[in-house]
Amino acid sequence: MCNAIDYVAVSLTVPLLSKQFGKSTSAVTTAITLTLLFRSVGAVIFGMISDRFGRKWPLVVNLLLCCVLELGTGFVDTFSQFLACRALFGIAMGGIWGLSSSSALENLPIELRGLASGILQEGYTVGYIFAAVINLTLVAQYGWRALFWTGAGITCIAAVVRALVPESPFFLHAKEQEKAKGVNTSQNFLRRTKEMLKLHWLLCIYAVLLMTGLNFLSHGSQDLYPTYLQITKGFSAHNASVATIIGNCGAIVGGAVGGWASQYVGRRLTIVFFVVLVAVFIPLWVLPSSFSALSAGAFCVQLGVQGAWGVIPIQLAEMSPPAFRATFPGVVYQLGNMVSSASAQIEATGGDNLKTTIMKDGVLTVVPDYATVQAIFIGAIAVFVIVIAIIVPENHGSNFENADAAYHGGDEVTDHASQISYREVNEKSSA
């Protein structure tokens, strides 16, 4: 949730930032691109630290860094300072997803992981709604800086909460096993990292391609959406924020349902179904002019987008080599983000070259045609995601609690006597 508030703060305030710094929409969206580009760096750094030293304190430090940089963003005076803060923020933000997903999912019984995956992922959507509400209230009264300052405060609270929550029981059990075998060293961890990359390079490529498509789909339908409603459809900033909130309500429903459904019909089939749903509702996303119809389109499209996304935390966790459950999902997720980092700029540039006319204040005005641009962009990406989702590997029902596999470079062990149940590990941790 904090991740989302901090990230979408720019998306929601593009017109205000453009006015503040005297820059075009495409120039301001450079900040979004920089944040996405540098997130992979943070995913590698914090993911490897987490897999080596623990889930708890690396995430606490990660959140506090986000807090400081978000706070600093609210104090910048020049556009160069703004871009620098957002680039550094990208590094800090990059670690949070992998650390959070590994902490949440590896400590749950198998039958709950699909639903939990959807709920976890939709924390992002809840954060988007929080940011939109802040944008409707505090930003309208105090300006765009209030959104960044409020986001920093919420992130600080999250760091405190995480500091109070115990370390992951499965991580502690893993380290006990490594210590008993005399392999709990940084040198051994680096050696296993090299072995993992050598053994699972094709798996990494599949995962990055899947995350590239899904990140293009989410950023293409979210980052410039408030700007699209205000400029192309002529909505007020207030109505654009309300429509964003309605769309994200659909996203919450989709994420929970998608994660839950994947437990029964499989991860890939669930992704394909919800992406097809996105494609079906593209006309309702862009063709109407009324607020109610466009809001309905936003609800349906985001239900599809986040329905597919609700599967991703558990899909990546099950695909991941067990000893790298923070690094692997976080890095492939952020590499996909990096490839898709130009989503907002692609749409902004498309709008600069594709125009339409609207009636504004009784005058026929030429504006960027973001509706057509987004329809083409989202449609093409939907086809790409469907193809990749069909061919990407699936390890549905993978046993995180396969003890030996968690401590060697991902080698699977078939000896059932070596498997330790969720309840046994947690009982040992409690003891």
Per-residue model confidence as pLDDT tens digits over 26-47: 888 888 888 888 888 888 889 8
- Averaged pLDDT, 60-85: 94
Q: Which domain holds residue 325?
A: 2-430
Q: List the single range of 141-145, 173-177, 368-372 with lowest mean pLDDT.
A: 173-177
Q: Residue 341 sits in a domain of what CATH number?
A: 1.20.1250.20
CA distance 114 to 77: 45
Q: What pLDDT, on a 0 to 100 scale, did the predictor assign at position 429?
A: 47
Per-residue model confidence as pLDDT tens digits over 232-289: 888 888 898 899 889 989 999 999 999 999 989 989 999 999 999 999 999 999 899 8
Q: List the single range of 73-77, 92-96, 320-324, 423-427 with lowest mean pLDDT.
A: 423-427
Q: What percent of the chain has pLDDT over 90?
A: 35
**What is the pLDDT confidence band of residue 419, given thresholds at 50, 70 and 90?**
very low
Residue 20 has pLDDT above 70, yes or no: yes
Residue 414 has pLDDT above 50, yes or no: no
- Averaged pLDDT, 389-414: 56
Residue 361 has pLDDT above 70, yes or no: no
Helices (H), 139-236: 140-142, 145-164, 169-181, 186-199, 201-222, 225-231
Q: What pLDDT, on a 0 to 100 scale, did the predictor assign at position 396?
A: 65
Q: What burial letters (b/e) apply to 250-271, b meaning 16+ CB within 10 Å?
A: bbbbbbbbbbbbbbeebbbbbb
**What is the pLDDT confidence band of residue 99, given thresholds at 50, 70 and 90?**
confident
How many domains does the chain contain in total? 1
